[in-house]
Amino acid sequence: MATVTHVPPGSASHRGTARRVFAMIAGLAVLVLAVAASVVFGSSTTSVGDVADVLSGTADAEITTIVESRYPRTALGVLAGLCLAVAGTLMQGVTRNHLAEPGLLGINAGASASIVTATAFWGATGSTAAMWWALPGALVAGVAVQIIGSSGSGRSQVRLVLAGAVLSAVLMAYIQAVTLTKPQVFDSYRYWVVGALGGRDFDVLLSMLPFAGAGLLLALLLGHSLNALALGDATAASLGANPWAVRTGGLFAATLLSAAATAAVGPIAFVGLAVPHIVRAVVGADFRWQIVFSAVAGPSLMLAADVVGRVVMRPQELMVGIVTAFVGAPALLIAVRRMRGNA
């Protein structure tokens, strides 16, 4: 007869689970506040009462237009933040490198090169056109890096990093060559490359959903296997996990997520780097919790950065990619110092 193990309420395991549940509830509360702030605050001054009037249908046309224009950028910020944060968590788990982030796969460079090519040679313009041109470029670059960097040896993580760095360097050289010789391409490219949530509509969001949904579902399925992989390939294999399959699946999920986000809002830096460190400090090393909590913390950071960018320079806007860089740079320095201290 099977024996059921009872976990005492005061045990370390019980306390850890309770702490994670509390952190998740707190994280969801912060996300709700971030969503509300994204709708209420912007480059145009509005109040909570104005938003309530819009929701009740009693606001004037000008206020209604201003508030409703914030709906798509808020929804896009939630989805892009989720994608980048979960992709960063996967990257750090697969490579066992706490400085890994989605740009490591060359996805940003691939998306940028694709947009520059489409603009220069096929006259593509507009955010929706950029989305559809950036997505295949990002996916092709991510897959190419995985193929180049794949190996059955234990040093495949090093090859992956080197492949991403080499491909990114080649693509960036191509981008510079095209934009320097075609000023009209540079004018169109420079806005997208900084990263921004504004100027997009729900069509961009809907186009992004299938790729984001597939990547998130695969990430959730890999949570338990990533825990085994963190113990080393030999230990993971002894626990029934296939290290090569887990690593390939994790990289593919990260590629889908970060390609969708990059194509939709541009190459926003540091979200995929900073959020996994925050999440790891809160919920611990279990990737099942890290992935779920990243899906909550990432949108909160993205929306908070977007609100700051809209408010700090009224009536102008500071693009969200610039704000996240200011937030993420200290996070990178802290991560480097901690890694050096543990060396």
Domain ranges of the chain: 85-269
Cis peptide before 299 (omega within 30 of 0): no
Classify domain 85-269 at the CATH superfamily level.
Answer: ABC transporter involved in vitamin B12 uptake, BtuC (1.10.3470.10)
pLDDT in tens, 258-284: 888 888 888 888 888 889 988 998 898
Cis peptide before 210 (omega within 30 of 0): no
Quote the pLDDT of residue 73. Answer: 92
Question: Averaged over 32-36, what is the pLDDT?
Answer: 95
Quote the pLDDT of residue 58. Answer: 84
Handedness of CA 300, 302, 308, 311 (dihedral sign): negative
Whole-model pTM: value is 0.86
- Cβ distance 86 to 315 under 8 Å? no
- Rounded distance between C-alpha atoms, residue 171 and residue 182, angstroms: 16
How large a percentage of the chain has pLDDT more than 70?
87
End-to-end CA distance of the chain: 48
Q: Average per-residue pLDDT in the chain?
A: 83
